Amino acid sequence: MNTKSKVAVIGLGNIGTAVATNLAKGNRAVIVADRTIEKASALSQKLGSLARPMEIAAAIKEADIIVFAIWFNAIKELLHQYATELEGKIIVDPSNPIAPDEKGGFKKIIGEKESAGEIISSLLPKKAKFAKAFGTLGVASLANAAFQKPANVLFYATDDSSINADIEQLILNNGFEPVRVGSIDQSIRIEVFGDLHEFGALGKTITKNEVAQLIEPSLV
């Protein structure tokens, strides 16, 4: 497992704050960045010496792993804007491609059978490596179900098994048990409405011994 890779969380709303807070609790250093340095500085002061505030461009340049805790369309924009700086980096996408509907709920903003993970993986900068992770739980569970015994599961997907150790260490440092669901073509299962999502058919957090009946072992 690789704890030396430098991690940056870009976007410090619900999910970015929860991920950065968990990392600090898990004793992992984290670079935090948002649209303003003031927002990043305020969070890093709360989290203590393991958190470092930076401008987005500097954070992307410095980090090996970048968690884009921003909305789906904003991730697409930043991938384009920082294409050169992101070359060769590990990009982590927690996004759920949804927007409010007319009935006070949420609807998908991409095709029914499409996933944000597959779309974003088709837009990656050169030699960037990509994982879908941290989007499977709502923010309340991401914050409150971390660091439990036994640990709750966070699913991830990637096409590139060379980054499994990095992603798994990041999930462990967030206080969860990592479980790979397979390649990026499985992303839809761990996005909102998916069968492994807290706001989909699964509907709850689970521990590792409950996973066996949910995932085809050959996919993992």
Query: Which residues lie near ligand NAP (CB under 6 A)?
Result: 10-16, 34-35, 56, 69-72, 74, 77-78, 94-96, 135, 138-139
Task: Report the residue closest to ligand NAP, judged by CB.
Answer: 13
Minimum distance, C-beta of residue 141 to ligand NAP, in the bound complex (Å): 8
d(CA 83, CA 20): 24
At 98, which amino acid appears?
I
The dihedral through the CA atoms of 13, 170, 89, 99 has a sign that is: negative
31 and 8 in contact (C-beta within 8 Å)? yes
At 146, which amino acid appears?
A
Minimum distance, C-beta of residue 205 to ligand NAP, in the bound complex (Å): 13
Q: Which residues of 159-185 are buried (b: 16+ CB within 10 A; e: fewer)?
A: bbeebeebbbbbbbbbbbbbbbbbbbe
Minimum distance, C-beta of residue 178 to ligand NAP, in the bound complex (Å): 16
The dihedral through the CA atoms of 182, 177, 164, 90 has a sign that is: positive
Minimum distance, C-beta of residue 174 to ligand NAP, in the bound complex (Å): 13
Nearer to ligand NAP, 3 or 144 (CB): 144
Nearer to ligand NAP, 137 or 151 (CB): 137
Nearer to ligand NAP, 35 or 165 (CB): 35
Q: Is 130 exposed, middle or buried (0-12, 13-18, 19+ CB in 10 A)?
A: buried
Nearer to ligand NAP, 77 or 195 (CB): 77
Minimum distance, C-beta of residue 133 to ligand NAP, in the bound complex (Å): 10
